[in-house]
Amino acid sequence: MAQMGRPRTFDRDHAVDQALHLFWQHGYDATSLAQLKAGLGGGISAPSFYAAFGSKEALFDECVQRYLTTYAQVTECLWDESLSPRQAVETALRQSARMQCEDGHPKGCMVALGVMSAPSPENARVANGLTQSRLRTRAGIVACVQRAIRAGQLPGTIDPAVMATVFDSFLQGISILARDNVPHASIDAAISQLLLTWDIAASTAPPIRPGIASGNPQTPAHDAAHSDHGDTTR
């Protein structure tokens, strides 16, 4: 009696990684079931594919989640308040550029490229995970700018959403540069140039009074004037 189900050579975890690379390279719609079956290895049949993953959409969802918990973690530093706001933004940019240019997987960022290889209208729901990831990254950059303004590191005249758009636009654009094989060294040097935008804005921030910097609205002079509880007879 013939053995049914997945072949013994089928490695599901490895198959998800292979599928992730296919979706990353080609997008959801352009990746056919035939490509997936050929790329997953082990001579997987259509019944075995559906038994293992349920559907192409379900497999894509699993691949997106794997991407978000691995490769996409390069921008999670935006939420790390142990880093200065500028350092958090710089780290996110440099780590993302390095990841997008490295060998071993498709070039660029699956989260950004998902916009250009967006599913057809009837399948638009499958891109939701990628959309939410982009929104989270954008919100992280905004949070860094807001944190810098509160700390007096950027002037209060800065519009956080506008400032964040400058850095987010560059971050999204790295994917095209990486796909065009622009060297990582050139992109990394461009990040240094881009960060001058932050530094120039920071140079216009007014000096921080010590009392304000520490979160205490009273300045040292204010404290001294009231240290004797209003006694001015001395």
pLDDT band with cut points at 50, 70 and 90 for residue 29? confident
Which residue's entry shows tokens 């094989």?
181
Residue 96: alpha-carbon gap to chain centroid? 7
pTM for this structure?
0.81
Q: Quick check: 114 and 174 in contact, CB under 8 A? A: no
Is 60 contained in some domain? yes
Classify the phi-psi angles of 230: left when phi > 0, otherwise alpha if psi is within -120 to 50, otherwise beta.
left
Is 158 contained in some domain? yes
Distance CA 127, CA 134 (A): 11
CA-to-CA separations, 74 to 87, 109, 140, 170, in angstroms, rounded? 13, 11, 12, 15
Over range 130-135, report the average pLDDT.
92
Distance CA 212, CA 45 (A): 67
Is 208 contained in some domain? no
Is 232 contained in some domain? no
Over range 180-188, report the average pLDDT.
98
Same domain for 89 and 176: yes
Distance CA 126, CA 144 (A): 29
Distance CA 192, CA 179 (A): 21
Over range 116-141, report the average pLDDT.
82
Q: Give per-residue pLDDT as tens, 134-172.
A: 999 999 999 999 999 999 999 999 999 999 999 999 999
Same domain for 19 and 96: no
Q: Count the alpha carbons within 13 Å of 74 in the hemisphere toward its beta carbon.
A: 21
Same domain for 191 and 118: yes
Over range 16-20, report the average pLDDT.
94
Is 5 contained in some domain? no
Quick one: DSSP state of residue 106?
-
**Domain span including residue 155:** 74-203
Task: Provide the percentage of residues in the chain whose pLDDT is more than 70.
Answer: 79
Distance CA 101, CA 228 (A): 64
Is it the case that residue 115 has pLDDT exceeding 70?
no
For the record, the structure tokens of 70 come out as: 């691995």
Looking at residue 84, which CATH number applies to its domain?
Answer: 1.10.357.10
Same domain for 85 and 34: no
Distance CA 117, CA 169 (A): 18
Quick one: DSSP state of residue 11?
-
Domain count, the chain: 2
Over range 49-72, report the average pLDDT.
93
Q: Which run of H or E residues covers position 15?
A: helix 12-26
Residues in Cβ contact with 168 at an 8 Å cutoff, skipping those fewer than 6 apart: 137, 138, 141
